[in-house]
Copies of this chain bind each other. A is one copy, B any other.
Amino acid sequence: MRIDVAFGPHGLVAAELTGRTVMVIDVLRATTTICAALDAGARAVIPVGSMDEALRLVQTLDSRDVLLAGERNCDPIPGFPLGNSPRQMTPEAVAGRTIVMTTTNGTRALLAAAPAGAVFVAAAVNLAAAGAQARRALEEQADLLVVCAGREQAFSLDDAYTAGRLILEALGGRRIRKGLNDGALMSVDLARRYGPRFDRPLAVSASGRQLRSQGYAEDIAYAATVNRHPVLPVFHDRRITVMAGPESVPSASPPAPGPGG
The interface of chain A, by Cβ under 8 A from chain B, is 5-8, 10-11, 151-158, 160, 177, 181-183, 185-186, 189-190, 193, 204-206
Which of B11, B160, B177, B181 meets A153, CB within 8 Å?
Answer: B11
Query: Which residues of B are found within 8 Å of A158, using beta-carbon distances?
Result: 182
Q: Could you write out 16 A-B pairs with CB less than 8 Å apart?
A: A7-B7, A7-B154, A7-B155, A8-B10, A8-B11, A11-B153, A151-B182, A154-B183, A155-B155, A155-B183, A157-B186, A160-B182, A160-B186, A181-B206, A182-B205, A189-B193
Given contacts A158-B182, A193-B193, list 16 more A-B pairs with CB under 8 A.
Answer: A6-B155, A7-B7, A7-B155, A10-B11, A10-B153, A11-B154, A154-B181, A154-B183, A155-B155, A157-B182, A157-B185, A160-B182, A160-B186, A177-B204, A182-B205, A189-B190
**A92 → B minimal CB distance (Å):** 35
Q: Is the CB of A186 within 8 A of B186?
A: yes
Identical chains bound together, number: 2
**A48 → B minimal CB distance (Å):** 22
Bound together, the chains give a CA A160 to CA B5 distance in angstroms of 15
Query: Which residues of B are found within 8 Å of A177, using beta-carbon distances?
Result: 204
Query: Which residues of B are found within 8 Å of A160, using beta-carbon distances?
Result: 182, 186
Bound together, the chains give a CA A153 to CA B154 distance in angstroms of 11
Bound together, the chains give a CA A221 to CA B153 distance in angstroms of 32
**A13 → B minimal CB distance (Å):** 10
Bound together, the chains give a CA A182 to CA B207 distance in angstroms of 9
Query: Which residues of B are found within 8 Å of A190, using beta-carbon distances?
Result: 186, 189
Query: Which residues of B are found within 8 Å of A185, using beta-carbon distances?
Result: 157, 204
Which of B10, B11, B155, B193 meets A182, CB within 8 Å?
Answer: B155
Bound together, the chains give a CA A185 to CA B160 distance in angstroms of 12
Instruction: Across the A-B interface, give the 6 residue pairs with the lowest CB-CB distance, nearest first.
Output: A11-B153, A157-B182, A155-B183, A10-B10, A182-B206, A7-B155
Bound together, the chains give a CA A132 to CA B92 distance in angstroms of 59
Bound together, the chains give a CA A249 to CA B146 distance in angstroms of 44
Query: Which residues of B are found within 8 Å of A5, using beta-carbon distances?
Result: 155
